[in-house]
């Protein structure tokens, strides 16, 4: 670990994200539409925080504002006290669509951020190899992304975002496009990496199991205009294991979050589905959130 830290230049725990009085609205032909309103969130250094909520609640909007792609209409976004003005390598991001550069090999993708920083070739090659080793991808360093499976692509995406030693890691439904088995493995890999690197993580998902399994704290967002409806600490001990997902503690947390989300999903859909139809859905949920099914 110490060897990796030296090579990749990971700074001591930093990355205090603070979002205050946040609101963001879009201009449309019918006037401005409020996507997110009156939102406060924070992530302490080294903390793993998830945001869950129904589709279209503005959770990705919030994440994109922290990344610096969107400017808040009002309120502030700061990392370690410094306001966010546009994207930077201090805030690594992982996208749902993998977003690997198809014209670069796996290793070149991981090297990209270091290259942008002006690190000499030999040094960044070594750093990239070390990181790929951590994610079990050494054998694929010379492959082009097209030839990788979805899970491997996303591992490269995570490693690439971590390579520059960012203060915070932002993940926008990173495992949404993966099958259930791969997703579980990826969650384990992500927690392992996070524990080694001690980096602040803000994780957006609509999968409640995933949010609980990974996080120290979960924010639950309400439907449009999005705002934080609840903040739920996850006191499960670390390191987390798959078996915990069957524990009564985990299930109680899940029940609580699910009822919150269900309420919001119903609100979001408004009159789209009659109460009668919803009762049928209530019975058939089988432990999944409505947002997941829809």
Partner 1 sequence: MSSSAILRHQEDAVTTSVVAEAEPAPALDPTPKRAVGQLAAQWYRLNKESLRGVAIGAISLFLFLVVWHLLTTYRVVFFVRFTNVPAPLEVYASFTKAIHDPKFLMHLLLSCRRILIGFSLAAVVGVPLGLVMGRFKLIHEIVFPVAEVLRPIPAIAWVPMAIMLWPTNEQSIVFITFLGSFFPILVNTLHGMSLVDPVLVRAAQCLGARESSIFREVYFPASLPHIFTGLTVGMGVAWVSLIAAEMISGQYGIGYFTWEAYSLVQYADIALGMIAIGVLGLGSSLLIRGGGQLAMPWRSK
CB of 265 to partner 1, least distance (A): 27
Q: Rg (Cα) of the chain, in Å, rounded?
A: 19
Give the whole-angstrom CA distance, residue 93 versus residue 76: 20
Residue 164 sits in the site that holds partner 1 (CB under 8 A): yes
89 binds partner 1 (CB under 8 A): yes
Residue 45 three-state SS? coil
- Nearest of 184, 189, 264 to residue 220 by alpha carbon: 264
92 counts as binding partner 1 under rule CB under 8 A: yes
Determine, following the binding rule CB under 8 A, whether residue 123 of this chain makes contact with partner 1: no
- Overall residue count recorded for the chain in this entry: 294
Torsion, Cα 146 151 152 153, to 10 degrees, reads 50
Return the residue of 11, 71, 117, 288 that touches partner 1, per CB under 8 A.
117
Give the separation between CA 241 and CA 243, rounded to whole angstroms. Answer: 5
- Counting residues that bind partner 1 (by CB under 8 A) gives 26
Half-sphere exposure of 14 (CA within 13 A, CB side): 13
CA distance 243 to 223: 32
Q: Which residues contact 67 (CB under 8 A, 6 or more apart)?
A: 84, 87, 91, 93, 170
Q: Which is nearer to partner 1, 26 or 69 (CB)?
A: 69
Contact between 261 and 53 (Cβ < 8 Å): yes
Q: Is 93 in the site for partner 1 (CB under 8 A)?
A: yes
CB of 74 to partner 1, least distance (A): 24
Site string for partner 1, 190-229 (x = CB under 8 A): ----------------------------------------
Q: Which is closer to partner 1, CB of 93 or CB of 218?
A: 93
Residues of span 34-73 touching partner 1 by CB under 8 A: 67, 69
Region binding partner 1 by CB under 8 A among candidate stretches 8-16, 74-82, 159-167, 233-241: 159-167
84-108 exposure pattern, b = at least 16 Cβ within 10 A, e = fewer: beeeeebbbbbbbebbbeeebbbbb
Q: Using CB under 8 A as the criterion, what x/- string covers residues 223-262 for binding partner 1?
A: ----------------------------------------
DSSP 46-79: T-EEEEE-STTSSHHHHHHHHHTSS--SEEEEEE
Q: CA angle, 166 as apex, 162 and 168 as ends, to 5°?
A: 100
Out of 26, 71, 87, 123, the only residue in the binding site for partner 1 (CB under 8 A) is: 87
Q: Which of residues 21, 101, 149, 192 is near partner 1 by CB under 8 A?
A: 101
Choose which of 32, 97, 123, 149 interacts with partner 1 (CB under 8 A): 97
Binding partner 1 (rule: CB under 8 A), the pick from 7, 25, 99, 195 is 99
146 interacts with partner 1 by CB under 8 A: yes
Q: Work out the number of other CB atoms within 10 angstroms of the CB of residue 217.
A: 19
**Candidate segments 33-41, 98-106, 249-257, 281-289, binder of partner 1 by CB under 8 A:** 98-106
Does 26 bind partner 1 (CB under 8 A)? Our answer is: no
Token couple for 165 = 């030693």
Question: What backbone torsions phi and psi does residue 74 show, to the nearest 5 degrees?
Answer: -150, 165
Residues at the interface with partner 1 (CB under 8 A): 67, 69, 86-89, 91-93, 95, 97, 99-104, 112-113, 116-117, 144, 146, 160-161, 164
């Amino acid at each position: 670990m110490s060897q990796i830290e030296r090579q990749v230049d990971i700074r001591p725990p930093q990355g205090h994200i603070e979002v205050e009085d946040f609101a963001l609205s879009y201009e449309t032909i019918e006037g401005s539409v409020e996507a997110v309103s009156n939102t406060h969130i924070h992530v302490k250094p080294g903390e793993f925080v998830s945001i869950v909520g129904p589709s279209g609640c503005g959770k990705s909007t919030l994440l994109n504002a922290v990344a610096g792609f969107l400017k808040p209409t009002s309120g502030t976004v700061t990392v370690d006290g410094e306001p966010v003005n546009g994207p930077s390598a201090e805030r690594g991001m992982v996208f749902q669509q993998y977003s690997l550069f198809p014209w670069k090999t796996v290793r070149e993708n991981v090297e990209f951020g270091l290259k942008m920083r002006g690190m000499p070739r030999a040094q960044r090659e070594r750093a990239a190899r070390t990181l790929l080793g951590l994610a079990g991808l050494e054998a694929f360093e010379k492959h082009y992304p097209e030839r990788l499976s979805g899970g491997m692509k996303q591992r490269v995406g995570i490693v690439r975002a971590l390579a520059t030693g960012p203060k915070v890691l932002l993940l926008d439904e990173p495992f949404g496009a993966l099958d259930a088995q791969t997703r579980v493995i990826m969650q384990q890999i992500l927690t392992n990496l996070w524990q080694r690197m001690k980096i602040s993580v803000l994780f957006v998902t609509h999968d409640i199991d995933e949010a609980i399994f990974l996080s120290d704290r979960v924010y639950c967002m309400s439907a449009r205009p999005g705002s934080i409806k609840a903040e739920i600490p996850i006191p499960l001990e670390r390191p987390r294991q798959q078996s915990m997902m069957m524990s009564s503690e985990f299930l109680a947390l899940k029940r609580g979050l699910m009822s919150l989300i269900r309420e919001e999903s119903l609100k979001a859909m408004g009159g789209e589905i009659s109460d009668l139809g919803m009762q049928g859905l209530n019975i058939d949920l089988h432990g999944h959130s409505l947002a997941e099914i829809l």
